[in-house]
Amino acid sequence: TRLVDDLLDLARITSGKIDLRFAPVTLASVIEHAVQTSSPLLQQREQTLSVALPSEDVTLFADATRLSQVVANLLNNAARYSPPGSPVAVACAVEDDQVVVRVSDRGIGIEPAMLSRIFELFVQSDRRPDRSQGGLGLGLTLVRRLVELHRGTVTARSEGLTRGSVFEVRLPVAAAVAPAPVAP
């Protein structure tokens, strides 16, 4: 079901038919909803999740559901591609009028040559049978497209295979930032 939903979301974004509902939303509520969504997988894998939020409330002009989906996708990837019992972290901060959300893990990591392609459609870093975790390479493409529609950026860092990874989403802090136009 999740794969079909991701494909439909990507088709809507690509065709310019996605319906985003921008409104003021707190960063804390976005993260809370994403954590609730990802908790069953983290618990199943006996992974510990740490969440660090800024001490003051931060408001974004965003589609709360879609932004929560972005963070949940990153958390689910961290859980799926990390060993059972390992830590996963979400650290949020405000830097230069931007909200920065970092999701980090100590999982399988990403080969340096793949870092520039990891957000492309159907791209997966390591597809050997012993590394098979399911999925078709849709989630990170969806993350990138949704973040871009929120006038943000997403990047990935890893020191290589078995060294974990960090995904960083940057979004403008604003109470009234106009949404980005949907390009076909």
Give the model confidence (pLDDT) of 79-93 as tens digits. Answer: 999 999 999 999 999
> What is the residue-averaged pLDDT of the chain?
85
Which segments of the chain are extended strands (E)? 23-26, 48-52, 59-62, 87-95, 98-105, 153-157, 165-172
Section 139-149 average pLDDT: 91
| pLDDT above 60 (res 181) | no
Could you tell me the pTM of the whole model?
0.84
Report the C-alpha dihedral over residues 140, 103, 92, 22, rounded to 10 degrees. Answer: 20
Give the residue among 98, 57, 92, 56 at the shortest CA–CA distance from 74: 92
Tell me the pLDDT band of 146, cut-offs 50, 70 and 90.
very high
Q: Please write the tens of the pLDDT for every residue from 91-140.
A: 999 998 999 999 999 999 999 988 888 998 766 655 444 444 555 567 89
Rounded to whole angstroms, the Cα distance separating 48 from 85 reads: 7
| pLDDT above 50 (res 65) | yes
Cβ count within 10 A of residue 58: 18
CB 38 within 8 A of CB 69: no
